[in-house]
């Protein structure tokens, strides 16, 4: 459709760029913007930012339980039921949508089937572009389940025939807050061995990026990294924690099993300790991530540093 507008004259002038085509097209048709998981933490934040960019009656918010979005419906947003485990609900839920944001589900081991159902539902509904919340280094062949599942979903997007954008969100800075509280033992931050740097990002900044991508402000296609403003090792995190807490908190690198043992001694369940330390260890040994400008390009706002969440960390 865009190509057909290349030679349309506007105020006596030929259109010079695709951006001019896009503006003209938007003036002629009504775009509809849909998202899944709208009642979740990220979904509600996306709605907040999206509604500053497009009219409420052009937004379709989907969820398994529409009653949880009564306050959103009261604002004029169209609320519909969408259940990934019941694929027959999806084409109807997405009907009329021009662009769709699929917020990845959080049930490891089950979500690929749900994501594929959502993609198929979008195709059936005639959606023109899909935005998906993915993860860094998404790889269908990864030995790490989360990375593999996001990679498998991206393969399904590639095969769908619809243009798509995968927002590879770095780990939430809110997760880092809980992790540092867990790893603080006797005034020291126990850290895994490794010098990998990660760009922790606030959930709010991910929501800003997702809203901008859904609204069409971010025009990237394929995978794009969504990061915080700085790349930090866990030793860097200890230094930052010292700064915001006003006390010296040294970093103490240890093997994973020793960290787990000391965390369990704080009455943390062994399963929780193993999972969290394992996640930290993977990041410490991973290829370092480079900060990107995706959040700023999508929203016009620079992402916040981790200081925002670390100020509330309990030191021990």
Q: Where are the domains of the chain?
A: 3-170+203-227+291-301, 171-202+228-290+302-316
**171-202+228-290+302-316 has which fold?**
UDP-galactose 4-epimerase; domain 1 (3.90.25)
DSSP per residue over 9-44, as a string?
EETTEE--SHHHHHHHHHHHS---EEESSTTSHHHH
Q: Rounded to whole angstroms, what are the CA distances from 86 to 81, 89, 102, 131?
A: 10, 6, 16, 21
pLDDT of residue 188: 92
Using one digit for the tens of pLDDT, what is the confidence trace for 286-299?
A: 878 899 999 999 99
For tokens 């690198």, the residue is 253
Q: What is the mean pLDDT of residues 245-257?
A: 92
Please give the mean pLDDT across all residues of the chain.
88
Split at pLDDT 50, 70, 90, the class of 285 is confident
Query: Do the strands 78-81 and 59-63 form a parallel or antiparallel pair, or are they unpaired?
Result: parallel
- The residues pairing with 165 across neighbouring beta strands, listed in sequence order, are 131, 222
pLDDT of residue 107: 79
Which residue, 210, 145, 177, is CA-closest to 309?
177
Range scoring the smallest mean pLDDT among 105-109, 186-190, 244-248 = 105-109
pLDDT over threshold 70, residue 21: no
pLDDT over threshold 50, residue 9: no
pLDDT over threshold 60, residue 187: yes
User: In the Cβ-directed half-sphere of 315, how many Cα atoms lie within 13 Å?
Assistant: 16
Q: Give the whole-angstrom CA distance, residue 41 versus residue 203.
A: 9
- Using an 8 Å Cβ cutoff, are 134 and 104 in contact? yes
pLDDT of residue 283: 87
Split at pLDDT 50, 70, 90, the class of 28 is low
Q: Give the whole-angstrom CA distance, residue 84 versus residue 156.
A: 15
pLDDT of residue 108: 76
- Using an 8 Å Cβ cutoff, are 189 and 249 in contact? yes
- 181 burial (CB, 10 Å; 0-12 / 13-18 / 19+) is middle
User: With left for phi above 0 and alpha for psi between -120 and 50, is residue 163 left, alpha or beta?
Assistant: beta
- Domain 3-170+203-227+291-301, what architecture? 3-Layer(aba) Sandwich (3.40)
Backbone angles phi, psi at 233, to 5 degrees: -80, 170
């Amino acid at each position: 459709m865009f190509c057909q507008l290349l030679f349309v004259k506007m105020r006596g002038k030929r259109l010079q760029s695709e951006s001019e085509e896009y503006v003209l097209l938007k003036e002629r048709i009504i775009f509809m913007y849909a998202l899944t998981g709208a009642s979740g933490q990220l979904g509600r934040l996306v709605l907040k930012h999206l509604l500053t960019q497009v009219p409420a009656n052009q937004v379709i918010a989907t969820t398994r339980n529409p009653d949880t979005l009564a306050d959103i419906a009261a604002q004029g947003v169209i609320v519909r039921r969408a259940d990934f485990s019941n694929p027959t609900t999806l084409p109807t839920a997405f009907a009329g949508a021009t662009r769709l944001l699929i917020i990845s589900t959080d049930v490891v081991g089950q979500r690929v089937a749900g994501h594929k159902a959502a993609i198929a539902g979008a195709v059936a509904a005639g959606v023109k572009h899909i935005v998906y919340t993915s993860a860094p280094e998404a790889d269908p062949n990864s030995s790490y389940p989360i990375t593999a599942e996001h990679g498998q979903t991206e393969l399904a997007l590639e095969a769908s025939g619809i243009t798509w954008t995968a927002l590879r969100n770095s780990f939430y800075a809110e997760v880092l807050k809980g992790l540092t509280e867990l790893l603080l033992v006797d005034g020291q931050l126990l850290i895994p061995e490794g010098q990998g740097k990660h760009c922790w990002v606030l959930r709010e900044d991910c929501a800003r990026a997702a809203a901008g991508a859904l609204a069409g402000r971010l025009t990237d296609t394929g995978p794009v990294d969504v990061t915080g403003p700085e790349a930090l090792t866990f030793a860097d995190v200890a230094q930052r924690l010292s700064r915001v807490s006003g006390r010296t908190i040294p970093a103490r690198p240890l093997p994973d099993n020793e960290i787990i043992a000391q965390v369990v001694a704080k009455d943390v369940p062994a399963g929780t300790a193993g999972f969290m330390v394992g996640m930290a260890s993977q990041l410490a040994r991973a290829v370092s991530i480079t900060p990107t400008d995706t959040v700023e390009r999508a929203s016009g706002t620079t992402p916040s540093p981790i200081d925002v969440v670390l100020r509330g960390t309990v030191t021990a």
